[in-house]
Amino acid sequence: MKELEKIYDPSSVEDKHYKKWVDAGYFHAERDPDKRPYTIVMPPPNITGQLHMGHAMDETWQDILIRYKRMQGYAALWVPGTDHASIATEAKIVAKMKEEGLTKQDLGRDRFLERAWDWKKQYGGRIVEQLKKLGCSCDWQRERFTMDEGCSKAVLKVFKKLYDDGLIYRGERIINWCPHCKTSISDAEVEYEEQDGFFWHLKYPVAGGDEFVELATTRPETMLGDTAIAVHPDDERYTHLHGKKVILPLVGKEIPVVCDTYVDREFGTGVVKITPAHDPNDFEVGVRHGLPVVKVLTDDAHMTQDCGKYAGMDRYEARKAIVADLEAGGYLASIEPHKHNVGTCYRCGTTVEPMVSKQWFVKMVPLAGPAIEAVRDGRIRFVPERFDKPYYNWMENTRDWCISRQLWWGHRIPAYYCDDCGEISVSATPLTVCPKCGKPVRQDEDTLDTWFSSALWPFSTLGWPEETEDLKYFYPTNTLVTGYDIITFWVSRMIFSGLTYTDKAPFDTVLIHGLVRDAQGRKMSKSLGNGIDPLEIIDQYGADALRLTLVVGSTPGNDMRFSDEKVKASRNFANKLWNAARFVMMNLPEDFRPGLPASLTMADKWVLSQLNTLVKNVTENLDKFELGLAAQKVQDFIWDVYCDWYIEIAKLRLNSEDAAEADSARQILVSVLVQALKLLHPFMPFITEEIYTALPGASETLMLEKWPGYEPQMNYAEEEAGFEKVMDLIKAVRTLRADMGVHPAKRTSLIIETADKTPFEDGAAYLAKFAFANEVSFTEKYTGDTKGVAQVVTHAARAFIPMMELIDREKEQARLAKEKAQCEKEIASMAAKLSNEGFVNKAPAHIVEDMRQKHAAAAEKLAKIEESIRNLG
């Protein structure tokens, strides 16, 4: 039998056990026809990534589920992997090259990609090693990368299929353009933030007259690209302008007045400028009316060469110059402060520009319908259920998805252009010549949106498009664990992709967690400087303490606060468990054999019944994804029931001269500890493994032990209820003695008045020990003198304690007199308020009722104080 160190040191335990688990292949899931599969695919962290608290929570929740299911006997597979993260990774590489004085163009595509793959080899595995520090029990033999050969093959097949089915097309449409990243981004990648801005009210002259038409804009610089103004066809104020033209200020050209129901007659003047190249709604108006598209911004948000004196200016510099010229020309009517939501790039925070561009798009409406239905009919459920609403909202209002990115790192679009005959060919295998005319072709320069490959993750990681054995056995997957912030980015796309390409929902449950915020409830960010490095927490307190902190108190879908106090509490719990295990093991003889004794005491039955109920409740909680509740119940049982009560009770038998009784206590102590370690293992795998493998009769690892099951024969309801009565009385006596300042070494007799003596007689030894009694007696009705006798009352009994020999009577009288005076003062204050008709009639009803309840409670307290004073004589 191994002896535990005096002090628990996570750093000496965690790496050791993790290496053992990996080397032994415990994380590897085998296909087994006799087992049910349970599969989780890890949301792939970016290869640019550093483990942050969001990752730590996400992976901890997944690990809890996979360890739980593994112990339940499932063929539990947790597929790990990383994402190539096109925009973020390329930005890192370009920044590194800039330090060397190099650009992408200096290197060319092939040499740049060589650098990118070298970068991936150097940094890509960093976050994987960090996940291992957290204790993630992933099947590392199946680790995947979104640009590995298998995943890339899946991407090409999907692109080709969608193109052949008419669901992918190339065309000019309004897209979101990031001037900093210099690439298009999808609607889901635009984050909106409220900014202070202005409405500039402009006057456009009506051609051939003296009339002006007033309209407003938040982006004056785009007016150079106006190709019309629009009014509602039924707006009588502007009927006389139908078919007429206005003159575009500063430019001097005439543009038409068009009638379109897009215009809101109630907003502003009921006239809007139409800039088809730089506004999605204007683009649609332009299509309906055949308007020209005039682009006035470059890819880096400067004015184009066609913008006259403003050419080359930054967009904000041009805005100032244009507003000044409008004012000088008499075209500026007024300026109105205006708060509005402005789209920003989710990667770099730069304000994005709606801009017309030729890109590749996926038609979303045909794909969204089945994905909506899969959630509505229950094939996929969100936990909590309320998160189906943002999902429905996104899918029901979805626009075509812009999937091309102006980047070199990523999956290159498999479209080939023949400059000779103009043919566009899409192929899942490389082309060098045109299938139509045989002349050389060139491949599209753009890459695919990172989310295009991530959307295939649940099945591409298992071998699709090949019909692999893993795919047959482990797909569809079961639980997707992710944050609410990527329901639109990723979850929705995986759902429609799984349904479209495999005819199956990719998972049955989407478990949503919230954000990890700081102690003040603020979102962790670099700008606030309030980020917390999980690795530093692990180094200081251990991975188990971090994991427990990230689950206890958490509920699906809700944000949680992280604080030093919480993680210290988790560390203290680990120490409490360690010390309890050390105590148990120090009291085990070398020839100890685990098992349950033939005869059980009331305390034994109580702890076993409590444990049995715990098993039932924790299993139910985990099945309902109530991870935080399950962890809290296990922690409470170990700390309160096992450590604070049962170990203390067991000491009576361990220290007795009855060897058989001592052996029985040891068997219960070990049996309960082993079961508790199993329940705790998914939450705190390292310390539970270290303790378990040191116990006599233990197997090689706790993680492959069978999950405890509820056993009806271990439900000792009557004995459990009886022992609870004894405990209640012990607590009440100890509280009274503490209030009176009585030292534990001072003992006195204890007389218990109760109609049900049996549990108290069975627990007499516990009452004597823990209620500090030198004599315990029982009666159905106490008839003795109450002078100088303290009383405590529980729901099942009343105890009488002669206190005169234990306390200083004069000091206790003084204490009670002071307490009585304070209570009388509070009662008088509340009585005055309640007798005040103004307060009673004007204050909210719940305030008045609360005051009445407090007054009644204070009166009851006063009565007890006065009774105690009388009892002192």
Tell me whether residue 306 is in a domain: yes
Tell me whether residue 467 is in a domain: no
Out of 25-29, 397-401, 703-707, 735-739, least confident range:
735-739
Look up residue 638 and give its DSSP letter: I
Give yes or no: residues 229 and 338 share one domain. yes
Token reading at 633: 């119940």
- Pick the closest to residue 630 from 75, 73, 68, 72 (CA basis): 68
Q: Is the dihedral of CA 822, 826, 831, 833 positive or negative?
A: positive
Determine the straight-line distance between the first and last CA of the chain, rounded to whole angstroms.
60
Tell me whether residue 195 is in a domain: yes
Mean pLDDT across the stretch 718-732? 93
Burial 440-462 (b: 16+ CB within 10 A, else e): ebebbebbbbbbbbbbbbbbbbb
Give yes or no: residues 783 and 866 share one domain. no
pLDDT tens for each residue of 810-823 = 777 887 789 899 99
CATH number at residue 658: 1.10.730.10
Q: Which helix (H) or strand (E) holds 40?
A: strand 37-41
CB within 8 Å of 720: residues ≥ 6 apart = 605, 606, 609, 610
The verdict on whether residue 526 carries a ligand-binding annotation is yes
Mean pLDDT across the stretch 125-142? 94
* Half-sphere exposure for 592 (CA within 13 Å, toward CB): 27
Tell me whether residue 835 is in a domain: yes
Mean pLDDT across the stretch 753-774? 92
Task: Give the C-alpha separation, 696 to 157, whole Å.
Answer: 55
Give yes or no: residues 245 and 349 share one domain. yes
- My answer on whether omega of the bond before 45 falls inside 30° of 0, hence cis, is no
Domain boundary among 353, 385, 415: 353
pLDDT tens for each residue of 257-304 = 999 999 998 888 999 999 999 998 999 999 999 999 999 999 889 999
- Phi and psi at 31, nearest 5°, equal -70, 130
Assess whether pLDDT exceeds 80 at residue 803.
no
* Half-sphere exposure for 214 (CA within 13 Å, toward CB): 12
pLDDT tens for each residue of 680-710 = 999 999 999 999 999 999 999 999 999 999 9
* Half-sphere exposure for 620 (CA within 13 Å, toward CB): 8
Q: Which helix (H) or strand (E) holds 692?
A: helix 685-694
Give yes or no: residues 689 and 737 share one domain. no
**In the chain, % of residues over pLDDT 90:** 73
Token look-up 């005819």 returns 503
Mean pLDDT across the stretch 494-511? 97
- Phi and psi at 22, nearest 5°, equal -65, -50
Give the angle 678-682-683 at the CA atoms, nearest 5°: 110
Task: Give the C-alpha separation, 67 to 127, whole Å.
Answer: 21
Task: Give the C-alpha separation, 304 to 297, whole Å.
Answer: 5
Angle (deg, nearest 10), helices 602-623 and 53-71: 120
CB 796 within 8 A of CB 756: yes
CB 424 within 8 A of CB 360: no
Assess whether pLDDT exceeds 80 at residue 723.
yes
Token reading at 806: 């234990």
Cα 787 to the center of its chain, rounded Å:
60
Predicted confidence band of residue 527 (pLDDT cuts 50, 70, 90): low
Give yes or no: residues 730 and 709 share one domain. no
- pLDDT of 197 reads 85
- Pick the closest to residue 86 from 47, 112, 123, 121 (CA basis): 47
Task: Give the C-alpha separation, 577 to 566, whole Å.
Answer: 17
CB 432 within 8 A of CB 473: no
Cα 502 to the center of its chain, rounded Å:
28
Mean pLDDT across the stretch 212-218? 92
CATH number at residue 239: 3.90.740.10
Q: Is the dihedral of CA 269, 271, 276, 280 positive or negative?
A: positive
Give yes or no: residues 329 and 340 share one domain. yes
Write the burial class of residue 339 (CB in 10 Å: 0-12 exposed, 13-18 middle, 19+ buried): exposed
CATH number at residue 837: 1.10.287
Task: Give the C-alpha separation, 293 to 276, whole Å.
Answer: 5
Q: What is the 3-state secondary structure (H, E, C) of 353-394?
A: EEEEEEEEEECCHHHHHHHHHHHHCCCCEEECHHHHHHHHHH
Token reading at 849: 């009722």
Task: Give the C-alpha separation, 691 to 685, whole Å.
Answer: 10
- pLDDT of 786 reads 78
Mean pLDDT across the stretch 8-21? 96
CATH number at residue 750: 3.30.2320
Give the residue, 690 or 590, on which the prediction is more confident: 690
Tell me whether residue 293 is in a domain: yes
Give yes or no: residues 262 and 312 share one domain. yes
Give yes or no: residues 189 and 323 share one domain. yes
Averaged pLDDT of the chain: 92
3-state secondary structure of 334: strand
- pLDDT of 864 reads 72
Domain boundary among 807, 834, 861: 807
Give yes or no: residues 240 and 324 share one domain. yes
Assess whether pLDDT exceeds 70 at residue 873.
no
Angle (deg, nearest 10), helices 492-502 and 388-396: 70
**Residues constituting the chain:** 873
Give yes or no: residues 794 and 695 share one domain. no
Give the angle 439-161-157 at the CA atoms, nearest 5°: 80
Q: Which residues pair with 228 in a beta bridge?
A: 274
Domain of 837, in residue numbers = 810-872
Task: Give the C-alpha separation, 101 to 85, whole Å.
Answer: 24
* Half-sphere exposure for 867 (CA within 13 Å, toward CB): 11
CB within 8 Å of 440: residues ≥ 6 apart = 418, 420, 432, 433, 434
Burial 385-401 (b: 16+ CB within 10 A, else e): eebbebbeebbeebebb
Give yes or no: residues 608 and 660 share one domain. yes
Mean pLDDT across the stretch 429-458? 95
Predicted confidence band of residue 173 (pLDDT cuts 50, 70, 90): confident
CB 3 within 8 A of CB 585: yes
- Pick the closest to residue 621 from 608, 606, 609, 636 (CA basis): 636
Tell me whether residue 443 is in a domain: no
CB within 8 Å of 49: residues ≥ 6 apart = 55, 82, 85, 126, 127
Task: Give the C-alpha separation, 216 to 137, whole Å.
Answer: 58
CB within 8 Å of 73: residues ≥ 6 apart = 35, 706, 707
Domain boundary among 320, 353, 386: 353
Q: Is the dihedral of CA 460, 463, 464, 468 positive or negative?
A: negative
- pLDDT of 331 reads 93
Predicted confidence band of residue 1 (pLDDT cuts 50, 70, 90): low
Task: Give the C-alpha separation, 282 to 173, whole Å.
Answer: 11
Token reading at 495: 């759902």
- Pick the closest to residue 21 from 686, 653, 480 (CA basis): 686
Q: What's the total number of domains in the chain?
A: 4
Cα 206 to the center of its chain, rounded Å:
57
Mean pLDDT across the stretch 327-354? 86
**DSSP result, 121-173:** HHHTTHHHHHHHHHT----GGG-EETTSHHHHHHHHHHHHHHHHTT-EEEEEE
Tell me whether residue 779 is in a domain: yes
Tell me whether residue 55 is in a domain: no
Task: Give the C-alpha separation, 402 to 449, whole Å.
Answer: 8
- pLDDT of 193 reads 82
Give yes or no: residues 675 and 748 share one domain. no
